[in-house]
Every structure is written in C-alpha cells, then in structure tokens.
Amino acid sequence: MSSIYSLQRPLGHAVPPPAWSYSGLREWRRCPRRWILRRCGYSNVHTPFYPDRLTDAAVTGLVVHRLIEKYDTSSAQRARSFLPRKEMANALHAIVKSVSGNPRIDTAAVVRRFDGQRCLANFRVFLSHFRRTGLPPPSNVTLNAEAKPRSEFLFRLDKPRITGRIDRVKNGLLTDWKSGAQDDTHVDQARFYALAFWLATGIKLTKLIVFYTRDGQSFESPAPDEAALVEIREALCAEIAQAEIELKQTYGEARPSVENCQFCPVRQLCDEYWQAEETRALRLSPAEADDEILTDVQFDVEAREIGLHTTMFTGTASGGQVRAVIPTTLLAVEPEMIISLRLLNIRASCQASSIVVKPVYGSEVFCDGRN
C-alpha cells in the first residue's frame, strides 16, 4: 500500500501560487485550511498538490469539456466530420494517463465505471442548444494572429494575479459550460472571467451565460459594466493580498461543515474535522450504524488480532466499541505499529455489543504509526 496512507504532518507552510484560479479562490473562501493542506509539503508526497480522489462526476465533466473543445476546434477548422465516440475514448485515455501516478485513484476502476452514454447525452444537449439558438459553434477569439482558432481563451494576468480558461467568447457573449449541478458561485465565476477578458483584450462583454449540459438549463445575466469591472478588480487584488498574508502566518482557518467536509480530499489530515460538532453527521455514530450508510471513523487502537490476510483492530469511537477488519493490503504501516486509524467511506454495522466496520469500494484506510 502506498505511503500516502501513512498520516504525516505538513513539513511547512504552503506558498502562494504564481497566479490564482477561480477554483483556487473559491476553495480558499470556503475553507483556508483545506486550501493549505492540499498544497503543503509532506514527507510522503512528491507532487505540488496532495493527491486527490477522482469521482465519476469529475470524469464525466472532464470528458464532456474535452468533447466540446474538440468539436469547436473541428468546426473552426472546417473539418468534414466529427466522431464523438472516438473523441470520447481519446479523452478518457488522456485522463487515465494523467492520473496514472496517483496512488488514490484506481485507473482500472475509472475505466470500468465510466458512463459513456451519460457523456454523449451531455454532448447532445450542447449540440441541441446551439442548433436551437442558432449560435455558431466556434468563437475564433485569439490574442494573436498566429494562434490556432479555438473556443477556449487562456489567460494569466498580473493585477490581479489571476489565471484561468474561458470556455467560449463570441460576439460579446461569454459562455461557461457546466456538466454538474447548478451552483450559486457559477455566475460569480462568469463575472471573474468577464474581468479577465476585459483586462487581457480591452473588450467589454455584453452578456454572460452559464450553460448546464446535463439538462440544457442556462442562466443569463448582463456582463458587468466598466465601473463594476473596476470594482471586481480592486476586490480581487485586496482578497489575494490578504490571503497571502495569512498564508505566511498561519495554517489557515478551518471551517468545518457538512457541505465543506463531505467530499474534502484532505479531511483525513484535518483534526478540526474529526472534532467539530458541525461534522458529526459525517462520522460514525454507534446509535446510527447501518449497513446502508458509508461513514468516516477515527479511533485509537486498543487491541489488534493479526491474521494471515486481515487484521482486526479494536478501539472506541464516539462512545462505542468499534472493531475494524482491514485487509493487510490496505495497510501502509505494519499492523503492530499502528496506534490509530482514520477510515473514510467505510461501511458500519451493529453486531452484538460493538460496531463492525469494513472497507468497501471507495474506502480509504489512513494509519498513524509509532515513530
């Protein structure tokens, strides 16, 4: 098992990024501690970011975006044909290749669980929308005549220090594709992109659209005028400056909540998550143990029975006795050296006077061993 599953403390403070993306700023706003824990150095991590999980929904989003991008490029170059299934397979292959070194991702499972029909359905919604509205597919917006025409617009600016990629700009209309659920921050993200486009080109947009490929819904709003753009720019400069002051001085404020923590990729590293009353619903409760529920559990190991292929650890969590039956292949530390466990997405059931927890697909076992 990879050493990533051995719990380690950060080696030092995270450093400010060369430029802030909207997703990075949104993560900082929701929970500075999460932002920092994902970017700190660790003795068992050799990449700029702490390895993340890759959900089925994230794979769908990445593939759908790749399909739209390829379709736009193909249209701009007046290609004779576009083969969605072929491009979908190429996109999935590229994604799997890019995460092949991530110990938290089972690439075979990514391929096995991939829902190609769902991706194609999202892509058909995109095509239907633009055929219905009559908007031309490619934007052909570039910053220099040598660049190939494409729908995406890449930017990196100095004041404020922001970076990102705009899905599409055409005739004053900015469109941002979303394959997931609607979110209140999506319109704010479109305004962030409108500012970036104005600063990079000097062109003020007229309308912003957030389009959801899974159901064809969209939200339209007027683009911010120049006064609003200046205000957004000043607010971002101030926010980034304050964030970078905090980065140098602290490990960031933790803001535990069900919404913030449920899918947090570094909650196993966050002591506040395991202690906060706000996140109790996400952690094991002896009174609510149920085979149908996946939960997180933390406990100090009080006893262990080491078998040939599994080890049963016994301890106390949330006021009840817990027995965890863990396959040896999931342990990053020798069983006799483990003093506590943090288990994510584990299945719990009541048996006699104790709760038995067992890993299932998607479970993770993080070990704290003796020094």
Residue 92 domain-assigned? Answer: no
- Say whether both 304 and 355 belong to one domain: yes
Q: Looking at 59-68, 76-85, 216-225, 292-301, which range is the least confident one?
A: 76-85
- Say whether both 287 and 362 belong to one domain: yes
Mean pLDDT value of segment 78-93: 87
How confident is the model over 219-247, as pLDDT tens digits? Answer: 999 999 999 999 999 999 999 999 999 98
Residue 61 domain-assigned? Answer: no
How confident is the model over 312-353, as pLDDT tens digits? Answer: 999 988 767 888 899 998 999 899 999 999 999 988 887 766
**pLDDT at position 146:** 34
Q: In terms of residue numbers, what domain contains 240?
A: 153-244
- Say whether both 289 and 240 belong to one domain: no
Residue 144 pLDDT level (bands cut at 50, 70, 90):
very low
- Say whether both 232 and 287 belong to one domain: no
Q: Looking at 49-53, 70-74, 117-121, which range is the least confident one?
A: 70-74
Residue 330 domain-assigned? Answer: yes
Residue 9 domain-assigned? Answer: no
Residue 7 domain-assigned? Answer: no
- Say whether both 232 and 176 belong to one domain: yes
> Which of these three, 244, 274, 304, is where a domain ends?
244
Residue 10 domain-assigned? Answer: no
**pLDDT at position 179:** 85
Residue 70 domain-assigned? Answer: no
How confident is the model over 92-102, as pLDDT tens digits? Answer: 999 999 999 99
How many distinct structural domains can be found in the chain? 2
Q: How far apart are CA 213 and CA 40, in angstroms?
A: 35
Phi, psi of 306 (to 5 degrees): -90, 120
> Which of these three, 213, 244, 275, is where a domain ends?
244
Report the CATH number that the domain containing residue 313 is assigned in CATH.
2.40.50.140
- Say whether both 236 and 183 belong to one domain: yes
Residue 294 domain-assigned? Answer: yes
- Say whether both 292 and 239 belong to one domain: no
